[in-house]
Amino acid sequence: MMRAYSQVASLNLFKQFQKIGLKPDKFTFPVVLKVSGHCLMIGLVDHCIPWLNLPSDALLLFQCMKLANEKPNSVTFVSLLGACTRILSIRLGKCINSHIVTSGIELHVELETTLLGMYAKCGHTQQAFCIFNSMGDKNLQTWTIMISGLADHGHGEEVVSLFARMEESGFRPDSFSFSAILYACSHIGFVDAGREYFEKMASIYNIRPTMEHYGCMVDMFGRARELEEAYDIIKRKPIEPNSVILRSFISACKHHGHIPCAEENTRRFSSK
C-alpha cells in the first residue's frame, strides 16, 4: 500500500500505523527510509522522520530492526548510506558498511555506488577509490560520483586521469561529470585542459553549458590571471550571470591587483 502513496502521504500512513499499534515489517521499513531520504534531498525536512536527522538515532532504528528480527535488504542499506552521506557521518557510514559485509547481502551497482559515494563525500577518497576499483560493474553515476568526490577534495590530477578512463571505457560524460572536471581544472591550474573540456562539451557531447559550468570557467581564468578570458566568458554566455560568477570575477580582479577593473565592473554589474 505504501508504495502507491505519494512521498509525504507514505510518511503519514507510516505514522498512522504506529498510532494504532501496527508493527512495521521488512517491507515497510525500507520504503519509509527511502521516502524520508527523498524528502531530505528535496528539502521537506519537516516531513522527515527524526531518526534521519541524527546519526545516533539512525543507528538506533537500525538496531531496532535487528531486534525485531527484520533482516535489512539492499534498499535499507542504500537509504541508510544516503542519510549518512547527507549528514556527513563517516562513523555511522562505516558502521553500516560493516553490517553490509556481515549480512552477506549481494552487492550490486546501486549499493556499491552509494557506499563509495558516502566515503568520497566524507573525505575518505582512498577508501572510496578502493571500492571503485573493486567493482565489477559500473554505471555513469558510479564514475561521476567518484570523479566528483576526488574533485571536491583537491585530487585534481586524479580527476583528469579518471575522466579519461571513463571515456575510454565507453561512458559518455554528462553535465555533472563536466562540472566535476571543470572544477578540478580550475583548482589545479589546468587552464588549457579546462578550455578543451568546456569546448568539447558542446562540440562532441552536445551538452549545453549551465550556470555552474560557466562559473567554473570564470573561476579558472580568474585564478590563472587570465581576466580578459574570464570577462569574455561572462560577455559571451547566453544566460545572465548570477551573483556568484560576478563576485568571483571581481574578486579575481582585486586579488591580482586590477583594482580599477574591479571597481569598474562592480559599478557596471550594480547598475543592471
State pLDDT tens for residues 49-101: 444 445 555 555 666 566 556 677 888 888 889 888 888 889 989 989 999 99
Residues recorded for the chain: 272
Angle at 116 between CA 113 and CA 118, to 5 degrees: 105
Does the pLDDT of residue 252 top 60, yes or no?
A: yes
- State the cell numbers at 126: 582512498
**H runs (alpha helix) in the chain:** 7-19, 28-41, 55-67, 74-86, 90-103, 109-121, 125-134, 140-152, 156-168, 175-188, 191-203, 211-223, 227-236, 243-255, 259-270
pLDDT at site 64: 58
pLDDT at site 265: 61
- State the cell numbers at 140: 555513469
| Rounded CA separation 158/20 (Å) | 54
| Rounded CA separation 22/260 (Å) | 70
State pLDDT tens for residues 197-223: 999 999 999 999 999 999 999 999 999
State pLDDT tens for residues 125-174: 999 999 999 999 999 999 999 999 999 999 999 999 999 999 999 999 99
| Rounded CA separation 198/102 (Å) | 44
Helices 28-41 and 74-86: crossing angle in degrees, nearest 10, is 30
| Rounded CA separation 32/83 (Å) | 12
